[in-house]
């Protein structure tokens, strides 16, 4: 319902109604705590709707960042990666959904900047690329590379950290 409202002509009024920290905190709590694939899809659709509207994102992005949006999304990513193989089959699209949302977020300058200071995110992304289980994560590597590339625009200082551990055949490790 919230996503639909933010797509309507009354989006400014509704975005303003969402501004209080208690409301945005509740939304982010759902992001961080949901185990339901349908609810996850709906909350990411809602957050994507915020991102897609220039006026709404201008109003809500800083409060969302202040309340921990980046940490919640990283938490979602790590939760999806840590699921058992059976759970992953039941939620096969969840990791893809989270990664595509991270792509969208990382394309926003202030979010990308916040992501550059999150060591946990960098570690998770690098580990996904370096994963020995390439079959499982190969389909996600493109999204991971896009997120890393978006982050590097604001975090050139991360290049050594990200490149550490990658080897070039015949080159130094």
Domain ranges for the chain = 1-67, 94-173
Q: Judging by beta carbons within 10 Å of its beta carbon (0-12, 13-18, 19+), is residue 50 exposed, middle or buried?
A: buried
Q: Give per-residue pLDDT as tens, 90-117.
A: 666 888 889 999 999 999 999 998 898 8
- For residue 165, count CB atoms less than 10 angstroms from its CB and return exposed for 0-12, middle for 13-18, buried for 19 or more: exposed
pLDDT score of 166 more than 60? no
Q: Which residues contact 117 (CB under 8 A, 6 or more apart)?
A: 155
Using alpha carbons only, what angle is made at residue 142 by residues 33 and 43, rounded to the nearest 5 degrees?
Answer: 25
Q: Which tokens in the block code for residue 123?
A: 């570690």
10 touches 50 (CB < 8 A)? no
pLDDT for res 51: 92
DSSP codes of every residue in 130-146: H-S-HHHHGGGHHHHHH
pTM for the complete prediction?
Answer: 0.81
C-alpha to C-alpha distance for 143 and 8, rounded to whole angstroms: 30
2, two tokens:
């919230």
Please tell me the distance from the alpha carbon of residue 173 to that of residue 164, in angstroms, as a whole number. Answer: 8
pLDDT at 81: 83
Residue 34 is encoded by which pair of tokens? Answer: 């949901």
Neighbours of 160 (CB within 10 A): 8
Average pLDDT, the chain: 83
Tell me the per-residue pLDDT of 17-66, one tens digit each, with 9 for 90 and over: 999 999 999 999 888 777 788 888 898 999 999 999 999 999 999 999 99
Strands (E), 8-161: none
Sole residue written with tokens 């349908």: 38
């Amino acid at each position: 319902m919230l996503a639909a409202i933010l797509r309507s002509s009354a989006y400014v009024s509704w975005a303003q109604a969402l501004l209080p920290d208690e409301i945005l905190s509740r939304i982010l709590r759902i992001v961080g705590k949901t185990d339901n694939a349908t609810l996850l899809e709906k909350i990411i659709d809602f957050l994507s709707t915020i991102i897609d509207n220039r006026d709404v994102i201008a109003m809500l992005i800083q409060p969302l960042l202040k309340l921990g949006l980046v940490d919640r999304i990283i938490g979602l990513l790590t939760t999806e990666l840590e699921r058992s193989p059976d759970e992953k089959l039941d939620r096969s699209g969840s990791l893809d959904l989270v990664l595509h949302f991270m792509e969208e977020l990382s394309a926003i300058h202030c979010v990308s900047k916040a992501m550059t200071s999150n060591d946990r995110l960098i570690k998770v992304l690098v580990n996904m690329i370096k994963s020995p289980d390439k079959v499982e994560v190969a389909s996600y590597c493109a999204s991971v590379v896009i997120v890393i590339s978006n982050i590097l625009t604001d975090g050139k200082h991360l290049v050594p950290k990200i490149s550490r551990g990658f080897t070039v055949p015949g080159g130094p490790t």
